[in-house]
Amino acid sequence: MLWFVVTVAILAVVTVFCLVRTHRSDKEIAPYVSHCLFWLLIPIVSNIVIALSDDIEICKFCFTVYFISTTVLLYYFAEFAIKFCNFDTDKPLASNLMMGIVALDSVNLALNYVFGHVFTVSSVEDAGEVDVIFRSLWYHKVHLGISALLLLIPIVVLAVKSIKSSKLYRDRYVVLLIACLLTSLWESFHVFTNGLVDQSIIGTCACGLFVYIYAMEYVPSILMDEMKKTVLSTINDGILFFDENRDCIYANPAATFQLGMGLNETESGFEKLLSLTGEDREESAYYSSKVLTCTKMEDGEEYIYDIEFHKLHDMQGKLIGSFAKIQDTTERTKRENVNRFLATHDKLTGIYNTDRLYDSIREVLNANPDKEFYVIASDIKEFKLVNDRYGREFADKLLIRIADLLKDKAVSDTTRYGRLGSDKFGCLIEKANYNEETFVSAMREVPNVGMNLVIPIIMHVGAYEVEDKNMPVSAMFDRAFIAIAGVKQEADLRVAYYEENSRDAMLWDQKITEQLDNAILTGQIVPYLQAQVNRDGKVVGAEVLVRWIHPDEGFMPPGRFLSVLEKNGRIAKIDQYIWECACRILRRWAFEGREDLYLSVNISPKDFYMMDVPEVIIGLADKYELDRKRLRLEITETIMMDDIDEKLKTIDKLREAGFIVEMDDFGSGYSSLNMLKDMPVDVLKLDMIFLKDTAHDERTKKIMSLIIDLAKSLDVPVIAEGVETVEQVDFLAKMGCDYFQGYYFARPVSLDEYEKKNLSSVS
């Protein structure tokens, strides 16, 4: 038995060594392996004691410990197999059932001391030697059945896992399965031979060591190689390996595509790589690390690669080969180029953006101190209306058209141009190359974008002659735009040049615009009333006009600020304020019993774009509970210059709501009769400017008489405004004019003065 004891003792030492290493490991499987190795040591030691002892009680105790420990070992081995094979372990019922069986079996084995139902141990003396004899009883057979059942669980688990796993993983499960099966056969053989010591413990130890090796130490090289190959074949970067002779021993699919190699042409990999990089063969293999950027054209497409080449050395520093990585940077490079372009160019038009234009102009001015230059700026009149009327797509085409014209007109290498934002463009041009007519003709070409236009596309150009080249470029363009601001309301296309008084006008415009809100809030903006009288000279109403009593500028007539507000669209703010003032006045008059007077308020053409006019006016009338006929609405024929159908619908809506609509300034335009034909109005306001500054006084009077007759035939009352002399009064009265307004009767006055003068006689 000496050989058995020595063998098992050696296995015990190895098991202890494996147990210590496992205990120090942080692998998830380590606790399961530790349990198996620990409970394997107990039957090993028990068998050694049994083999060396002839004491009946010691052997009996060791047999009991041996049987209990093998049962517990099989339980932990089953748990290990389930965890090792990644089976669903979230089933506490099965685990508790196994644990209950093990506990019940262990108790029965321990009760052998009381009932003697498991085994007996006796001794026989033969020739002076004592032999220990083990005899199995009925429960020992039950114990063997329980052990077989517990051993069947890991066998089934390992068998299922071996069948389902990839062949790359199968060997780790198959080896453990074979070890289990061999251990089972050896154990069965020992049961049938009924020997004193369990020689199958050697197989059990071997199986335990296999568990340790395959769970804790084993990494299959085939698996690693296959994983590396799979990873290398799926990455987008090309990978090539070369031996010490620079022969290609591996190229992944990305590399074969990038180098134009077939699947079986990897031996030409180094030459293909050199042809791409353009490097010399002898030099290329001897640098330790280098990155090259290479370009390849194929089928009209450009490919850009970053190529890394590295030498590989073993632990002794000897060259074992090299590898190259080819990274396709085509898309990244294109994105970077696009981002660099967009950092300096306008996305829509492709010409310089504001920052780059300013920088390039500064570079040109610094490089040409002896040359004279113009800074030119352009702006589309009422671009917002163009955008609203024709849509974003048309507006974009318009802007691209302007950019293309700027490119075409770039006549020298010192010309710079770009987009300054929205509809604004700018350029720098030498004074010697500047021609005003060239810009005028170019701007006339702008609307040619393939659409029938209702709203005319009018461009203004502002020019600033650069006098101080050290001035910031942004300030130069400010001056060019100031020049434009001075002609923004001109209907015809023209080029404006910056002058110092242009700057003063621009500053005034800014001042008026910035102070408007506060002026309304603090009562600086006030309504003035100009009386309207009938043919008997009786006051029947008034037109509400706006005045600004400025804390610094004093009393400001409308000419000083209304044109500014018309230009920037802020006229809608002041109009709405005056409308509400008129409503409050009418409300107070009604409360005082003076409901026979009306007030007329003006509606600016810009109001139709800044608000829903009917909604606002109807809302005010309802708010102040007015008789709507007492709030008359004056509109000018210029309102009908565009969107005629929509404007007609708006006017109809106001008349249907009960308001009286007056056509103001009739006769001051060139299409007045046409407007009278199309526009549904209730009152005609005849502008007496029609009679001024004419060489054909009698002819003009006849035309005016015909207009009044025409209005009468349409049942439209006529108010003559701008009446200043008694001769005009007599003339208009004879022609049948109904109402009069002008300096002859009354100037515009404050509300208090109007009421003192006119309302005392109102019954």
Secondary structure (DSSP) of 517-553? HHHHHTT-EEEEEEEEEETTS-EEEEEEEEEEEETTT
φ, ψ of residue 552 in degrees (nearest 5)? -105, -40
Give me the residue label for tokens 């609203």.
388
* Report for 54-63, 271-280, 738-747: range of highest mean pLDDT: 738-747
Amino acid 452: pLDDT: 58
From the list 325, 330, 358, the residue with the least C-alpha distance to 344 is: 358
- Cα–Cα separations (whole angstroms), residue 319 to 214, 282, 654, 698: 34, 15, 94, 114
Q: Which one is predicted more confidently, 695 or 279?
A: 279
CB 376 within 8 A of CB 370: no
Most distant CA pair in the chain, distance? 169
Q: Using the predicted structure, report yes or no on whether residue 491 has a pLDDT greater than 70.
A: no
Rounded CA separation 40/203 (Å): 11
Amino acid 289: pLDDT: 63
Q: Using the predicted structure, report yes or no on whether residue 731 has a pLDDT greater than 70.
A: yes
Q: Which one is predicted more confidently, 686 or 410?
A: 686
The pair of three-digit structure tokens given for residue 83, joined into one six-digit string: 């965890």
What's the per-residue H, E or C state across 377-417? EEEECCHHHHHHHHCHHHHHHHHHHHHHHHHHCCCCCCCEE
Average pLDDT over the chain, rounded to an integer:
82
Share of the chain above pLDDT 90, in %: 22
What's the pTM value of the predicted model, to 2 decimals?
Answer: 0.45
Domains defined along the chain, listed by start? 2-218 (1.20.1070.10), 224-334 (3.30.450.20), 349-498 (3.30.70.270), 512-685+746-761 (3.20.20.450)
Q: Which one is predicted more confidently, 227 or 576?
A: 576
C-beta atoms surrounding 672 within 10 Å:
19
Amino acid 740: pLDDT: 93
What is the Cα 60 distance to its own chain's centre?
Answer: 80
Give residue 763's pLDDT band: very low, low, confident or very high (50, 70, 90): very low
Give residue 642's pLDDT band: very low, low, confident or very high (50, 70, 90): low
Reported as type and span, the H/E element at residue 147 is helix 138-164
Residues 6+ apart with CB under 8 A from 105: 68, 71, 142, 143, 146
